[in-house]
Amino acid sequence: MKRIGIIGAGFSGIMTAVNLINKSDSSIEIFIFEKENPIAKGIAYSPYSKKQLLNVPSAKMSAFKDLPDHFFNWTKSLDQYKDVDDSILAGAFLPRYLYGQYLEFVWNEALVTAKSKSIQVKILRSNIIDMVRKDSEIELIGDNNEVFIVDYCVLATGNLVPRNQSIENMDFYESENYFQNPWKIESVENLNKNENVLIIGNGLTMVDTVLALQERNFKGIIYSISPNGYHILSHRHAPIKYNKLVEELPDVIDLKTIRNLIVKHVRSVRKLGVSAEPVIDSLRPFSQNIWKNFSIKDKREFLRKYRHAWGVARHRIPIHMNDFLLKLMFSIKLKVFAGTIKSLKENNGIIEVSFLEKNSKTLEKIFVSRVINCTGPESNIKLSDSQLLKNCLEKGIITQDEFCLGFNADPTNYELVGKNGEVQRNIFTLGTNLKGIFWESAAVNELRSQAENLANYISQN
Ligand SMILES: Cc1cc2nc3c(=O)[nH]c(=O)nc-3n(C[C@H](O)[C@H](O)[C@H](O)COP(=O)(O)OP(=O)(O)OC[C@H]3O[C@@H](n4cnc5c(N)ncnc54)[C@H](O)[C@@H]3O)c2cc1C
């Protein structure tokens, strides 16, 4: 009997289990550990607002690589979408809570299959805080001291809470008016509607937070501060499939050459009134390979110079959401600054935010009553709040890549590579933990393939 422990019941953990169930017989036993989120939904698909949307059109959100219409067909089976034109529905950005319901459906079907095959599946509400290797067995230790023994372990721990940004007075982060976790409803509740709010960061979570504040009839000004203050982009040219760049793409390419290629192609489409979007999108199937073949120097330079611009180009929002943000900006309800926060000083519930404005290079001040951290998931374990990952790092079970983007692992089967380059037999990971290896390793598109590959490997070895 193979005992398989999966830590984390978000998309990655659950889809690993679904694929294991589909590929195996009664010779496996699956234990799934989840510390806080609804099973199968994880952080992304258990949003606190029904208005928060997927950032990928529904046609591209199937949980299964080989069944590309699986999610689309499921949505078609729902009353609210059955009469919608297929092409409109396929291109729509549907609510994330709905995708959570879809994953619940996928999971329930897998449980039926498991029962029919007599595969034992146990879901445990437990925060795993440590791991001990004992010969071929692995002991997983819960925060209530319970010990679970498995033969295979999958770290599907997903998105870590954003890190506190470095400021002069780090003690501010103890304030009850500071919200480090933007995915919890508390971050937008119990707020004086007429006071102002600072959102640190300017990406997709900022958009979710702005939406949630507006939903609560918030009347104050929402400030957003990020290093570059780039305006978030919308999906303007989704139907255009651009092929010209990839025709010129060699198997291995350095940063300078790919940068020049992109600039050349973006210039050429812009002359015809088309944005960079289709050019950037055309690289998506190749970006993992490009990143893998970059030298360390190229990776470092990319992270220093282009990381934020790439993030903006890649992570876009539906047009109607963009219009909504623009309206808020025109009516001065949303102000986006480029700059670096120097200090956050609180007095009687009023927080003075001092930041160095990027363009004017002057020290500016704004006043808010709440600060919400929307800087994105943390990737450096040492700066995270995960006791499990910190313990594994200390023991050398996990090691991180040079830039602390993720864990070192075998790129073919995702088995961890620990201290001194030692392969950690039968301890695997997937998802954002593989960002250092693949760069693009967070969206459903990547995770569904990883979950399937991993299940294939475990069921055959
Ligand atoms: C707000 C948001 C929106 C997104 N929207 C999209 C989108 O529209 N389309 C898209 O393709 N991708 C989207 N993504 C990317 C998203 O990360 C993936 O699609 C996917 O949800 C990641 O799933 P995961 O299981 O790897 O991680 P998570 O969803 O983070 O799940 C990990 C789970 O592990 C649990 N866990 C962690 N440590 C432990 C422990 N020690 N013990 C027990 N349990 C533990 C956590 O509680 C959590 O539930 C979004 C991400 C976020 C954060």
- Would you mind telling me the total number of residues written for the chain in this entry? 461
Between the CA of 17 and the centroid of ligand 1 the distance, in Å, is 15
Between the CA of 195 and the centroid of ligand 1 the distance, in Å, is 32
Beta carbons of 139 and 131 less than 8 angstroms apart: yes
* Ligand 1 atom with minimal separation from the 42 CA: 29
* Ligand 1 atom with minimal separation from the 8 CA: 34
Between the CA of 359 and the centroid of ligand 1 the distance, in Å, is 35
Ligand 1 pocket, residues with Cβ under 6 angstroms: 7-13, 33-37, 42-44, 54-56, 127-128, 156-159, 183, 205, 386, 388, 431-432, 442-444, 447
Cα→Cα distances 180→176, 218, 346, 384, Å: 10, 20, 16, 12
Tokens of 433: 């933990």
Give the residue, out of 6, 33, 157, with the most ligand 1 atoms within 8 A of its beta carbon, to mutate for a pocket test: 157
Domain ranges across the chain: 2-52+95-160+378-460, 170-233+317-373, 244-314
Between the CA of 69 and the centroid of ligand 1 the distance, in Å, is 22
Between the CA of 442 and the centroid of ligand 1 the distance, in Å, is 8
CATH number of 2-52+95-160+378-460: 3.50.50.60
Superfamily of domain 170-233+317-373: FAD/NAD(P)-binding domain (3.50.50.60)
Between the CA of 44 and the centroid of ligand 1 the distance, in Å, is 5
* Ligand 1 atom with minimal separation from the 61 CA: 11
**Atom 10 of ligand 1, nearest CA residue:** 443
Between the CA of 399 and the centroid of ligand 1 the distance, in Å, is 21
Between the CA of 43 and the centroid of ligand 1 the distance, in Å, is 5
For residue 231, the model assigns a pLDDT of: 83
**Atom 18 of ligand 1, nearest CA residue:** 443
Q: Fold match between 2-52+95-160+378-460 and 170-233+317-373?
A: yes
* Ligand 1 atom with minimal separation from the 158 CA: 27
For residue 235, the model assigns a pLDDT of: 87
**Atom 12 of ligand 1, nearest CA residue:** 443
**Atom 22 of ligand 1, nearest CA residue:** 11
Reading the chain (461 residues) residue by residue, the pLDDT tens digits are: 999 999 999 999 999 999 999 999 888 999 999 999 999 999 999 999 999 999 999 999 999 999 999 999 999 999 999 999 999 999 999 999 999 999 999 999 999 999 999 999 999 999 999 999 998 999 999 999 999 999 999 999 999 999 999 999 999 999 999 999 999 999 999 998 889 999 999 999 999 999 999 999 999 999 999 999 988 888 887 778 899 999 999 989 999 999 999 999 999 999 999 988 899 999 999 999 999 999 999 999 999 999 988 988 888 999 999 999 999 999 999 999 999 999 999 999 999 999 999 999 999 999 999 999 999 999 999 999 999 999 999 999 999 999 999 999 999 999 999 999 999 999 999 999 999 999 999 999 999 999 999 999 999 99
**Atom 27 of ligand 1, nearest CA residue:** 158
Between the CA of 237 and the centroid of ligand 1 the distance, in Å, is 28
